[in-house]
Amino acid sequence: MSTQGCLAANDWICGEYLRSRSGELIDATVQHVWITAVSVVIGLLVAFPLALLARGRPAFAAPVLGLTTLLYTIPSLAMFSLLLPFFGLSAGLVITGLVLYSLTILVRNIMVGLDSVPEEAREAARGMGYGSGRLLWEVELPLALPALMAGLRIVTVSTVALTTVGSIVGRGGLGNLISEAVPTLFKAQVLTASVLCVLLAVVADLLLLGVQRLLTPWTRIRAAKAVS
């Protein structure tokens, strides 16, 4: 069967679909990447001070962790419905929901990373005259990066998947294509958009893994010594 006829035959794999709808696929992918990236960045900016608050003041730890966990348990459709009166049918609605979902993983991983910093490192830094701010940025955060980056990778991959749910308000990136194609069982569109979602998650995870290795060269040295 020629590729020209694969659309009419409604084949799963169809080169003609890729050629004729390339602009639509690119636009959906760009929107998907944009919503995911903005959500993850804002989530990190919100989670960091929350983690510092919970760590610095133990009385706030339980409420912060409890609230972020509660938010994570809310089904996505219910979450978007609750946010709808505040944001309307906009990208802000989807981004806010994704940010709230990211907090439980990011806050916990930041706290775990900071708690894993050896006390000897803190004492040595204080002995060299480091204040609390300098201690955090130059000693604790670099040593906490493996745990922080692990959480960031998990959040990014899950956000790529959850972004598709934004199709209920027309802001789901590739999810828009999937939701449009499912009622008519447009096989090529369903498969193509789904594969692109998977590829985005894989590429994002590999990129963050590369960044993690660049920022934490000592972990590779430690692993090499352990093997030898």
AA letter at 36: T
How many structural domains are present in the chain? 1
Do residues 78 and 139 lie in contact, with contact meaning Cβ atoms separated by under 8 Å?
Answer: no
In the 8-state DSSP scheme, what is residue 173?
Answer: T
Chain segment 50-94, per-residue pLDDT in tens: 999 988 888 888 999 999 999 999 988 889 889 988 888 888 999
Parent domain of 154: 3-227
Chain segment 36-46, per-residue pLDDT in tens: 999 999 999 99
| CA distance to 3, 7, 121, 161, 177, per residue, from 20 (Å) | 11, 10, 59, 26, 14
Euclidean distance between the first and final Cα of the chain, in Å?
A: 56
1 confidence band (pLDDT: 50, 70, 90)? very low
* CATH of residue 213: 1.10.3720.10
Phi, psi of 74 (to 5 degrees): -75, 125
Do residues 165 and 147 lie in contact, with contact meaning Cβ atoms separated by under 8 Å?
Answer: no
Considering the chain, what percentage of its residues have pLDDT values greater than 90? 43
Q: What is the pTM (predicted TM-score) of this model?
A: 0.86
Chain segment 100-148, per-residue pLDDT in tens: 999 999 999 999 998 888 888 888 888 888 888 888 888 888 888 989 9
